[in-house]
């Protein structure tokens, strides 16, 4: 994907150099090269950024939910509630 973007900027640079004035060359390079290419790369990269953000959120949620082995429990955290004890009524 990036090789196409680099090639496009190279072609636009050559076209910009051939413009009759420096101002038209700069406008051509920015108007037909940088701005559209930046917009295209931003739009194409949106799904990847969304997946990365979700993956990071899932990792953070997993590390908060499950302490690692050998890690001491946090003394400031509330103690887990004990399950109610049922009486054995089979006798």
Which pLDDT score is estimated for 57? 87
pLDDT, greater one: 89 or 40: 40
CB 37 within 8 A of CB 8: yes
- What is the Cα–Cα distance from 1 to 69, expressed in whole angstroms? 42
pTM (predicted TM-score): 0.55
Task: Check residue 33 and give its pLDDT.
Answer: 92
Better-scored residue on pLDDT, 1 or 4 = 4
The pLDDT of residue 20 is: 95
Q: Angle CA(89)–CA(90)–CA(91) in degrees, nearest 5?
A: 95
How deeply is 12 buried, as exposed, middle or buried, from its count of CB atoms within 10 A (0-12, 13-18, 19+)? buried
Task: Note the pLDDT tens digit of each residue in 52-80.
Answer: 989 988 888 877 666 566 666 666 766 66
């Amino acid at each position: 994907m990036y090789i196409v973007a680099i090639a496009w900027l190279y072609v636009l640079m050559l076209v910009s150099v051939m413009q009759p004035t420096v101002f038209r060359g700069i406008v051509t390079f920015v108007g037909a090269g940088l701005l559209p290419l930046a917009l295209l790369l931003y739009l194409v990269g949106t799904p990847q950024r969304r997946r990365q953000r979700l993956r990071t959120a899932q990792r953070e949620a997993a590390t908060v939910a499950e302490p690692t082995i050998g890690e001491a429990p946090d003394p400031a955290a509330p103690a887990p509630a004990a399950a109610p004890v049922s009486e054995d009524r089979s006798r």
